[in-house]
Structure 1
Amino acid sequence: MAITNVPNIPENYRTVYDPIEFVAESGATANTRFKYLFDVYDGASQIARLKVPADPNTYGRADIHGICESYIFTNLGVINTTTTADGFTDNGLSYKEFTIKIGEEYDVAGVLTQFADQETETVIVFNGSLPNYRGSVVNFYDWQVTNYYQNYTDNTISRKWLTNAPKGSGANKSDNQSVELTDEGWVYLLYDHSGNPVTDAQYTTYNSSGVLIATYQIDNNVASLTDKKMLKIPSAPNSINNINPTEFSFATVQPIISSSVASYRILLLDTISTVVSEEIWFNVDSECRYETRRLEFLNSLGGFDCFNFTKVSRISETVERKYFKQNADNMASGVITYALSDKEKTQYYTKGTPKMKLTSDWISVDTFNWLVELIESPEIYLHENGSRIAIQNIEGDWEQKLSTADTVFNLEVTLEFSMDNYRQRF
């Protein structure tokens, strides 16, 4: 007897922090000490084996996502590169293809005998973690629909990016994302080479009257590498302006997002310059009164989004102290002299935890509802002086807004930095 069927095989491009379940069927389940074997391979190396007893209906069910997630990490764009940056870059740490070999074991003449590798399947996973339910945002149950992932990989004008951020609607429109000339940022995408080539990303710039200034294209220089499944391209002004001019399809002089640019659009093109993605629009703003605080955060689809808090920000610090009690050192030559400067308690431990309170400008319903992903994100950075500062925790109240009931509002959050400050010890 052998494995007779594998009725449940996950499709490719599975979000690795959600269930990735295989189901097998065997005609040998009546044998003593029967178990299904699910062997997980990274390339040629076996990294795990799951032994699963048959259920009452003789099936074996194994969820491998806990194994796979240990091999998946995140990819951040490189900031402050001064016109040496790549256009398209591979997110090689954020996805991986695994092989699953299915077999069985049971007693043969009283000896537990294994029959491994009777059926072989593969699955591509990436660094996504979808909610079970969150309104109109893509959730885990949506992703189970046959070929749903193709909304993110197939070459159509509705091909989605790996972000739930508002995409905007046109030059200088109020629903566009707001950025500043000094901002860094990227937008992420899944890439399936099979019949869906992406050869270029197009940037189109407009002035404050909505008149076209120029159109630029960067080449997809990783397009020929068929093992590349998740890419990113620059999306914020400074990151775009730092793209090496050799990455462009035509002779280009940087910066392309200059002070005369009021808004710009990003989309993808195929080999015959057909649009093969949805558009993303940005407005270039200038905020002078307060210092802008830009946060970069891991979203539920495995990419990194950014958002600017442009109103007043305040830095605070909570302090933790520990003391020991001692006799005052106030005796000399047998004579005790009491003084107010005597220490009965000595502070031997001082830890300061820095925090920062941020306030956004007035934002739309769509923007506010998207920012729940910031509140929940496990990986957040504050951009400051051309570098990233890691954030340990973010606190903020979020409640879904409705366009029919809510008008204008802003978001307040408090950041806790991932490092503490310590003082002298005595």
Structure 2
Amino acid sequence: MTTLIIGGGWSGLAAAVRLLEQGEPVHLVESAKQLGGRARNVVWNEQTIDNGQHLLIGAYQRTLKLLQDLGADESTLFQRLPLNLTIHHPHFNDLKLADTPLLPWPLSLAIKTWQLNGFTLFIQISRLIFKARPQKKSDDISVQAWLKQQKQSPRLIEQLWEPLCLATLNTPISEASANLFANVLLETFQQRDYADFLIPKVPLGDILPAYAERYIQAQGGQISLHTRIKSLLIEDNKITAAMTDKGQTIEADNIIIATGPHTSQQLLGNYWLGEETSSYPIVTVYLQCSADIKLISPIIGLSGTTSQWVFDRGDGLLAVVISGPGTHLKLTNDQLIVHIFDELLDTNIVQSPEFIRGYVIREKRATFKSCVNISSHRPATACTVKGLYLAGDIISNPYPATLEGAVINGEKAAELIMKINTVS
């Protein structure tokens, strides 16, 4: 029974790998010229960069397990660093979260937070993390309302929780789901290695896309790039085939739609059971400076500025990430590059380096909006049409739009297919 997978992002790749492991024939189609979806390679100035800077954390267990099963060596692909985060603000002292291996977790995090930030901030941070579990099970409210309810100070909201919410949910705290944010906190701080940063050493396309592509081809799976699916063929409430925009019919016993929410809704039409979802952008500004420029740490947080997170990519290349909506979207690329570079100079993150060139990547539909009650509106994996399954990060799971959520949903679709095949 052949399974057609529409979408070659991390979710579709995860589904393909897990199906092929069980001997299920797979045909994966992708409209772009390469695999990876919104986490793919881009060539700029004769070097390979990412279509938006990504950061994985140790809590991404399903993603790490998938890579391990594909023969990937974590130490080759990622720089794993213990939690050590500094967030700058123009009007406040630096806020720091760090761990020490000298004490058991989470006592080590608590003691270090106290030492670095003082007792008042320590109490507030501890209170919110402690209250995350009951909030996860409560009626959903906005992150902003939850923070005020838990008596978080204006400084802590602006300097810590707002940038963390934007980084993980890509949604402003006034709209973001407190239940989803609470679950992110619980997962991240569940154990010491879950809070580790995994900073890619290689371009994203050389991680899961490259390993999965080799595996799919080695197992006899088929990959078709530059292939856009225009419509689905459904007869007697059973999926039978998909039609490309060039008029080609691809027959299949099962189809997994592993595309972004916008494309999935277009393909499914009335069969889309979730509410119509909206999206928010993510902008990444690459700044190529002189090769001797090096930040004090691989990742630095900024608050109270347009810039939110700065990554040191080595050899003078900096990647500045701006999540969610904002006035920066109205600036031209040249204006934004100058603005971001000036902010880094003003905050002393860089010291008057030789600026060579800049590049802006705008992912207009980077993620779905993780708004209040979003969890109740996310569709399930199994569709009402027999043989039709949904993947991609929008499908119901405990995470916002993350690579981990995409992998989880891809594997879930594969598991359902194999379960039904086993029964039949």
Q: Which has the higher strand share?
A: 1
Larger radius of gyration: 1
Pairwise TM-score range, normalised by the shorter structure = under 0.3
Q: Which has the higher helix share?
A: 2
- Under a length normalisation based on structure 2, what TM-score does the superposition of the two structures give? 0.25
Structure possessing the higher relative contact order (Cα contacts under 8 Å, 6 or more residues apart):
2
- Under a length normalisation based on structure 1, what TM-score does the superposition of the two structures give? 0.25
